[in-house]
Amino acid sequence: MNAKETTRGHSFEDYFKRAVNPMVVMSLLIERPKYAYEMTQELKDKTNSEYTMPLLYPVLYRLQNQGFIEEAEKLISENNRVRNYYRLTPLGYQRLEEMKQEYLQLCRNVDDLVDLSETT
Protein backbone atom coordinates (compact mmCIF):
# COMPACT_ATOMS: atom_id res chain seq x y z
CA MET A 1 0.00 0.00 0.00
CA ASN A 2 1.19 3.50 -0.81
CA ALA A 3 2.35 5.42 2.27
CA LYS A 4 0.08 8.30 1.26
CA GLU A 5 -3.03 6.11 1.40
CA THR A 6 -5.06 4.98 4.36
CA THR A 7 -7.11 1.83 4.57
CA ARG A 8 -9.92 3.66 2.77
CA GLY A 9 -7.69 4.93 -0.03
CA HIS A 10 -7.73 8.62 0.93
CA SER A 11 -4.51 10.53 1.32
CA PHE A 12 -3.63 13.17 3.88
CA GLU A 13 -3.98 15.72 1.08
CA ASP A 14 -7.53 14.51 0.31
CA TYR A 15 -8.62 14.93 3.92
CA PHE A 16 -6.85 18.27 4.27
CA LYS A 17 -8.44 19.68 1.13
CA ARG A 18 -11.88 18.46 2.18
CA ALA A 19 -11.47 20.50 5.34
CA VAL A 20 -10.06 23.69 3.79
CA ASN A 21 -11.78 23.80 0.37
CA PRO A 22 -14.78 25.78 1.66
CA MET A 23 -12.43 28.40 3.11
CA VAL A 24 -10.44 28.49 -0.14
CA VAL A 25 -13.57 28.95 -2.26
CA MET A 26 -14.90 31.72 -0.05
CA SER A 27 -11.50 33.43 -0.15
CA LEU A 28 -11.61 33.38 -3.95
CA LEU A 29 -14.92 35.26 -3.79
CA ILE A 30 -13.76 38.11 -1.53
CA GLU A 31 -12.87 40.47 -4.38
CA ARG A 32 -15.89 39.95 -6.62
CA PRO A 33 -18.39 37.36 -7.86
CA LYS A 34 -16.88 34.57 -9.98
CA TYR A 35 -18.04 31.51 -11.88
CA ALA A 36 -16.68 28.00 -11.28
CA TYR A 37 -14.22 27.78 -14.17
CA GLU A 38 -12.81 31.19 -13.26
CA MET A 39 -12.23 29.99 -9.69
CA THR A 40 -10.50 26.85 -10.97
CA GLN A 41 -8.20 28.93 -13.17
CA GLU A 42 -7.41 31.30 -10.31
CA LEU A 43 -6.47 28.33 -8.13
CA LYS A 44 -4.10 27.09 -10.82
CA ASP A 45 -2.59 30.54 -11.35
CA LYS A 46 -2.08 31.31 -7.67
CA THR A 47 -0.57 27.91 -6.84
CA ASN A 48 1.36 27.17 -10.02
CA SER A 49 -1.15 24.37 -10.75
CA GLU A 50 -0.29 22.57 -7.49
CA TYR A 51 -3.63 23.05 -5.74
CA THR A 52 -6.55 21.61 -7.64
CA MET A 53 -10.17 21.16 -6.73
CA PRO A 54 -11.74 18.65 -9.12
CA LEU A 55 -14.96 18.54 -7.10
CA LEU A 56 -15.67 22.27 -6.92
CA TYR A 57 -19.42 22.09 -7.51
CA PRO A 58 -20.23 20.05 -4.39
CA VAL A 59 -18.33 22.65 -2.35
CA LEU A 60 -20.24 25.48 -4.03
CA TYR A 61 -23.60 23.77 -3.46
CA ARG A 62 -22.79 23.05 0.19
CA LEU A 63 -21.73 26.66 0.82
CA GLN A 64 -24.87 27.86 -0.93
CA ASN A 65 -27.09 25.58 1.19
CA GLN A 66 -25.37 26.87 4.32
CA GLY A 67 -26.08 30.47 3.31
CA PHE A 68 -22.42 31.48 2.96
CA ILE A 69 -22.53 32.12 -0.79
CA GLU A 70 -25.30 32.90 -3.23
CA GLU A 71 -25.80 33.06 -6.94
CA ALA A 72 -25.04 36.62 -8.03
CA GLU A 73 -26.16 36.31 -11.64
CA LYS A 74 -26.41 33.99 -14.63
CA LEU A 75 -24.85 35.04 -17.89
CA ILE A 76 -24.73 33.31 -21.23
CA SER A 77 -21.25 33.28 -22.75
CA GLU A 78 -20.44 33.80 -26.41
CA ASN A 79 -20.50 30.04 -26.96
CA ASN A 80 -23.96 29.78 -25.30
CA ARG A 81 -22.72 28.35 -22.01
CA VAL A 82 -24.48 29.46 -18.87
CA ARG A 83 -22.16 30.94 -16.29
CA ASN A 84 -23.43 31.04 -12.73
CA TYR A 85 -21.58 33.71 -10.79
CA TYR A 86 -21.32 33.22 -7.04
CA ARG A 87 -20.67 35.79 -4.34
CA LEU A 88 -20.21 35.80 -0.60
CA THR A 89 -23.19 36.67 1.55
CA PRO A 90 -22.79 38.83 4.68
CA LEU A 91 -22.95 35.59 6.68
CA GLY A 92 -20.24 34.19 4.37
CA TYR A 93 -17.88 37.08 5.08
CA GLN A 94 -18.40 36.53 8.81
CA ARG A 95 -17.91 32.75 8.55
CA LEU A 96 -14.77 33.18 6.43
CA GLU A 97 -13.18 35.35 9.12
CA GLU A 98 -14.08 32.75 11.75
CA MET A 99 -12.63 29.97 9.59
CA LYS A 100 -9.38 31.88 9.10
CA GLN A 101 -8.99 32.27 12.85
CA GLU A 102 -9.80 28.60 13.46
CA TYR A 103 -7.32 27.59 10.77
CA LEU A 104 -4.54 29.75 12.22
CA GLN A 105 -5.14 28.38 15.71
CA LEU A 106 -5.14 24.79 14.45
CA CYS A 107 -1.89 25.42 12.54
CA ARG A 108 -0.29 26.86 15.67
CA ASN A 109 -1.40 23.84 17.71
CA VAL A 110 -0.10 21.39 15.11
CA ASP A 111 3.19 23.30 14.88
CA ASP A 112 3.53 22.95 18.65
CA LEU A 113 2.92 19.20 18.45
CA VAL A 114 4.81 18.26 15.30
CA ASP A 115 8.50 18.95 14.82
CA LEU A 116 8.57 20.29 11.30
CA SER A 117 12.27 21.17 11.46
CA GLU A 118 13.14 17.54 10.72
CA THR A 119 11.17 17.58 7.46
CA THR A 120 13.26 18.02 4.34
- At 35-93, the pLDDT tens digits run 999 999 999 999 999 998 888 999 999 999 999 999 999 988 888 888 999 999 999 99
Residue 11 vs residues 4, 16, 32, 57: alpha-carbon distances, Å: 5, 9, 33, 21
Query: What is the reported pLDDT for 36?
Result: 94
How wide is the angle at C-alpha 119 spanned by C-alphas 113 and 49, nearest 5°? 105
Residue 35 vs residues 59, 71, 77: alpha-carbon distances, Å: 13, 9, 11
Query: What is the reported pLDDT for 43?
Result: 94
**Which residue would you say has higher pLDDT here, 2 or 24?**
24
Does position 119 have pLDDT exceeding 80, yes or no? no
Mean pLDDT across 20-30 = 97
Does position 10 have pLDDT exceeding 70, yes or no? yes
Cα 120 from Cα 57, distance rounded (Å): 35
Cα 13 from Cα 23, distance rounded (Å): 15
Does position 28 have pLDDT exceeding 90, yes or no? yes
Cα 108 from Cα 100, distance rounded (Å): 12
Interacting residues of 101 by C-beta distance below 8 A, sequence separation 6+: none
Query: What is the reported pLDDT for 78?
Result: 84
Contact assessment for residue 85 and residue 32, using Cβ atoms and an 8 Å cutoff: no
Mean pLDDT of the chain: 89
Query: Max Cα separation, the chain?
Result: 53
